[in-house]
Amino acid sequence: MSGATEPLPESTRVGRTVLHVADLAGTTAFYQRVVGLAVLTRERTTATLGVDGTPLLVLEADADAPERDESATGLYHNAFRVPTRGALGDALARIRNHWHLDGASDHGFSEALYLADPEGNGVEIYRDRPREDWPFREDGRLRGMSDPLDLDALATDAIGGTGAPAGTTVGHVHLEVSSTEAAREFYAGTLGFDVTTDLAPSALFLSAGGYHHHVAVNTWHQRSTPAAGRGLEWFELILPDGDAVAAVAERVEASGGSVAELDDGVEIADPDGIAIRLRPEE
């Protein structure tokens, strides 16, 4: 457990992520054709994409914003979870037909494909194995592993879907931070996530409800300055009700952090200035 006074509710999950991009049309087309999301709404400077009417990703045009500096913290990858291995095989087909694959791994608890969008934002598309098959250690934490994924076998399991199916979600968000210890204190000690895999000082994986991770952080590229520029604007954590949101907000304020009230929740920031919005289930 994390040592937080109140763990996050087990049903806590990731909601939307918001990216600032220079080329709205090109980036929207990527998430349609390659990731398989549907455009739910489109305005002059904004596109909202998702699955089965549920928004998962918001793209905001901001051509005047500078590129994210190589030293800046921020997004490592945004991870879209598909419900079946067949759907992951379909994602592989879309990537091969329309884009390029950067990597693929078998993590024991999941099978994952890695790529980047046209603006360099990392993307993961993955499917979970059944929880009873996850590689837990005796201490209850997950064993970190990254084995090669058999892409030929995955391709044969494709079912011919042209888009991401119903049940696709943002499964987790992986961040580049300046310090895993500062991140541990915030995400575990203040928010209430549990640490599921501890590779500090290089990486931490954290979750609620026994999931393998809802948030991951790493220092692999030695980022050292606050989040700024294009890329991740904010990501969303959805809690079961308003009381749960208020409890987290109180802990953030008690730790010296700031809390901004929104119409549907609150906005906070981690030690690197990465914005997080908390809202209750609708």
pLDDT in tens, 6-44: 999 999 999 999 999 999 999 999 999 999 999 999 999
pLDDT band at 2 (very low <50, low <70, confident <90, very high): very low
Decide if 4 is inside a domain.
no
Question: How many independent structural domains does the chain possess?
Answer: 1
Q: Of 35, 95, 81, 82, whose CA–CA distance to 59 is shortest?
A: 35
Kindly state the average pLDDT of the residues 79-86: 99
Domain carrying residue 205: 13-216+227-280
- pLDDT at position 81: 99
Long-range contacts at 279-282 (CB < 8 A, ≥ 24 apart): 279/15, 279/236, 279/237, 279/238, 279/239, 279/245, 280/238, 280/239, 280/240, 280/241, 280/242, 280/244, 280/245, 281/11, 281/238, 281/239, 281/240, 281/241
Decide if 222 is inside a domain.
no
pLDDT band at 63 (very low <50, low <70, confident <90, very high): confident
Q: In CATH, what number is assigned to the domain containing residue 258?
A: 3.10.180.10
Decide if 120 is inside a domain.
yes
- pLDDT averaged over every residue in the chain: 96
Decide if 236 is inside a domain.
yes
> Cβ(38)–Cβ(163) under 8 Å?
yes
Q: Give the pTM.
A: 0.96
The whole-angstrom separation of Cα 227 and Cα 106 is 30
Look at residue 91 and tell me whether its pLDDT is greater than 50.
Answer: yes
Q: What is the CA radius of gyration of the chain?
A: 18
Kindly state the average pLDDT of the residues 101-127: 98
DSSP string, 176-242: E-S-HHHHIIIIIIII-PEEEEEETTTEEEEESTT-S-SEEEE-TT---B---SSEEEEEEEEESSH
Q: Of 269, 81, 85, 110, whose CA–CA distance to 196 is shortest?
A: 110
Residue whose token pair is 């970190």: 144
Alpha-carbon distance values, 263 to 37, 56, 242, 280 (Å): 27, 19, 12, 11
Decide if 205 is inside a domain.
yes
Over pLDDT 90: what percentage of the chain? 94
Look at residue 3 and tell me whether its pLDDT is greater than 60.
Answer: no
Decide if 2 is inside a domain.
no
Decide if 155 is inside a domain.
yes
Q: Of 165, 179, 173, 178, whose CA–CA distance to 237 is shortest?
A: 173
pLDDT band at 1 (very low <50, low <70, confident <90, very high): very low
Look at residue 5 and tell me whether its pLDDT is greater than 90.
Answer: no
Decide if 58 is inside a domain.
yes
Alpha-carbon distance values, 259 to 14, 181, 253 (Å): 19, 22, 7
pLDDT band at 145 (very low <50, low <70, confident <90, very high): confident
pLDDT in tens, 243-281: 999 999 999 999 999 999 999 999 999 999 999 999 999
- pLDDT at position 140: 83
